[in-house]
Chain A
Amino acid sequence: MWLKNKKGRIDLKGLRFTDLLITIMVGIVFGVIMKFWDDLYSVIKPIMPVARQLLYGMWFMVGPFAMLLIRKPGVAIIASLAGASLSAFIGHGFEVLLYGLVQGLGAELIFASFRYKRFGIFVAGFAGVASCFAGFFLDLFYGYAALEAWALFVKYGLRVISSFIFTGIFAYYIVRALEATGVTNSIRPVSKEDYESLN
C-alpha cells in the first residue's frame, strides 16, 4: 500500500513514511552533533581563524550525508532543514532555518542534476561545495561578505576546501562504514538487481 504513489503506480524511489522519519532523525542527530561541534568552534573562533574556516564544512555535511545514506529525492533538503530546526529550537534563532533550507537546496540540486544515480565522493563533495555557495549567497545579503578582497578569498576559499573534505571524503567513508553495519539495506531504493535476484 505504501509503495504506491498518487497515480496508483508502484513507486520505488519515493519517500515512504519510514524513509521520512529516518531522514528527519538523521537531520536531528546532526543537529545534536553540530551543537557539540559549535562549542569546539566557538573556542577556536577568536584564536585560530584559519582552523576555524577549515572546520566549517561540518555545517554542510548533513544534507549530502543523508542523501548518501538514503538515496531518494528530497532527502538532502529535508535532513538539512531538520538539523537546522533543532539548532533553532536550542536557541540559534531564525537565521539557521533559512541557512539550513538554502544549503539543503544547494546540495539537493547537485544530486538532482545527476538524476539521483551517482553517489560517489565527487558528487557528494560537489553537493557540499554547492551548499557552501548557497550559504555564501545568503552571506551576501546578510552582510558577512563585504570584506576586503583578500579576506573574502581566504575565508570562502578555505570554506570550499573544507566543505569538500567533510561532505565528500568524510561523509562518503562514514556512510560506507554504516553500510557495513547493514542498517542501509532496508532503506535504500529497491534496484533492478534486487528484483532479478528474486527470480
Chain B
Amino acid sequence: MNLFDLFTPHKKTWLYKVNPAVKFVLFFALFMIVFFNQHYQFTMNIMIMSALLLFLFSGYRLKRLLLFSIPIVISIFSTAVTMILFGKGETIWWQWGIIKISEESFYKGLLLGFKSASFGFLGLVFLLTSRPVMLFYALMQQLKLPAKFAYSFMAALRLVPIIIDELQARSNAFKVRGVTFSKGIKGIFERLRLYMLPIFAQSIRRAQRLAIAMEAKRFQIGADRTYYYPTTYQPIDGVFALLLISLSLGAYFLS
C-alpha cells in the first residue's frame, strides 16, 4: 500500500462538500477558544466532540482512523506527564526528590493532554477532508486572500518533493564520501551548513525563475482575475456551522 492510498477516503462524506475556507475559519475559531481556555472538563468535552467528528464523518475506515489516532493518544501522555511531575501546586499528593505531584499540577497536566488531543483530532478532521489547492482557491475567493500569497504558497508547496529529494541525495553523498562531523554544538553548525547551503541556493534560484516565469505570463499583483476552480458559499456550510456551534455549546454546558 503506498502513501497515496493511505490518505484516500473510503467514501466522500458531506464534510468534503463544505467550503474549505468556511471549515478553516470555524475550526481555527474553535482552536483559539480551546487554546486560551483553562478548564479541563470543557477541553475534554471538545476532545470527545472532535474525535466524534473524525470517527463519524471523515469517511475513512475505522482501522485506518485508529492508526491515525495513535500519535494523538501518545501526545496526551507525553504532554501531560512533564506537567504532572514538575508542575507547580500547593496540595501535594506525592513527592520524591524533585518530582512533586500535586492536585493542581495533575489537573493542569490533564488540561494540557486534552488540549493537545483536541488540536490533533481537529487538525486531522480538517486535513483528511480538505484538499490544500481548494483551500487556497476558497481563501482567495471567499476571504479575499491576495492572489500573490495564495499562488506563491501553491507554487512553493509543489516544490516540496524536490527539496526532500535534494536533502536525501546530500545525506547519501555524505555517507558515501565518509563525511564526519565534530562533536557537540560545532557539529550541529557543520551539519546545518552543509545541508542548508546548497538547498537554499538552489531553492532561491528556483523561486526566482518561477516568479519571473509567472510574471512573463502576465501574473500581476493586485490585478482583477478569474479562477480556474470557482468556489461559493453553499447551504451545507450553514449546516456545518450550526453543527459545530451547537456541539461546542453542548461541550460548554456539560462542563
Question: Could you tell me which A residues sit within 8 Å of B by CB distance?
Answer: 2, 17-18, 20-22, 24-29, 32-33, 36, 45-46, 54-55, 69, 82, 85-86, 88-89, 91-95, 97-98, 141-144, 146-151, 165, 169-170, 173-174, 177-178, 181, 183-184, 186-187
Check B140 for interface membership: any CB of A closer than 8 A: no
Q: Enumerate chain A residues within 8 angstroms of B111, measured Cβ to Cβ.
A: 143
Residue of B nearest to A152 (CB): B88
- Tell me whether B215 and A17 are in contact (CB under 8 A): yes
Check B197 for interface membership: any CB of A closer than 8 A: yes
Q: Enumerate chain B residues within 8 angstroms of A147, measured Cβ to Cβ.
A: 83, 86-88
Check B193 for interface membership: any CB of A closer than 8 A: yes
Check B249 for interface membership: any CB of A closer than 8 A: no
Residue of B86, B111, B200 with most partner-chain A CB within 10 A = B200
- Tell me whether B152 and A26 are in contact (CB under 8 A): no
Which of B36, B124, B167 meets A91, CB within 8 Å? B124
Considering only residues 120-142 of chain B, those with a C-beta below 8 Å from chain A are 120, 122-124, 126-127, 132
Q: Enumerate chain A residues within 8 angstroms of B65, measured Cβ to Cβ.
A: none
- Tell me whether B152 and A21 are in contact (CB under 8 A): yes
The smallest C-beta distance from A68 to any residue of chain B, in angstroms, reads 11
Question: In the bound complex, how far is the Cα of B209 from the Cα of A22, in angstroms?
Answer: 10
Residue of A nearest to B28 (CB): A94
Q: Enumerate chain B residues within 8 angstroms of A149, measured Cβ to Cβ.
A: 88
Residue of B nearest to A45 (CB): B78
Interface size on B, residues (CB 8 A): 64
Question: In the bound complex, how far is the Cα of B118 from the Cα of A95, in angstroms?
Answer: 11
The smallest C-beta distance from B6 to any residue of chain A, in angstroms, reads 12
- Tell me whether B127 and A143 are in contact (CB under 8 A): no
Question: In the bound complex, how far is the Cα of B208 from the Cα of A184, in angstroms?
Answer: 11
Residue of A nearest to B121 (CB): A93
Which of B112, B157, B200 meets A26, CB within 8 Å? B200
Q: Enumerate chain B residues within 8 angstroms of A148, measured Cβ to Cβ.
A: 86-88, 100
Q: Enumerate chain B residues within 8 angstroms of A184, measured Cβ to Cβ.
A: 204
- Tell me whether A29 and B119 are in contact (CB under 8 A): no
Q: Enumerate chain B residues within 8 angstroms of A55, measured Cβ to Cβ.
A: 188
- Tell me whether A174 and B159 are in contact (CB under 8 A): no
Additional A-B contacts beyond A88-B123, A94-B123 (15; CB < 8 A): A17-B211, A18-B207, A20-B211, A21-B207, A24-B152, A26-B200, A26-B203, A28-B156, A29-B199, A32-B160, A93-B123, A95-B119, A142-B35, A143-B83, A186-B208
Question: In the bound complex, how far is the Cα of B132 from the Cα of A28, in angstroms?
Answer: 14
Residue of B nearest to A181 (CB): B201
The smallest C-beta distance from B31 to any residue of chain A, in angstroms, reads 4
- Tell me whether B148 and A20 are in contact (CB under 8 A): yes
The smallest C-beta distance from A44 to any residue of chain B, in angstroms, reads 12
The smallest C-beta distance from B53 to any residue of chain A, in angstroms, reads 14
Interface flags for B8-40 (1: CB within 8 Å of A; 0: not) read 000000000000000000011001100110100
Interface flags for B101-119 (1: CB within 8 Å of A; 0: not) read 0001100100110010001
Which of B32, B108, B156 meets A21, CB within 8 Å? B156
Check B212 for interface membership: any CB of A closer than 8 A: yes
Check B169 for interface membership: any CB of A closer than 8 A: no
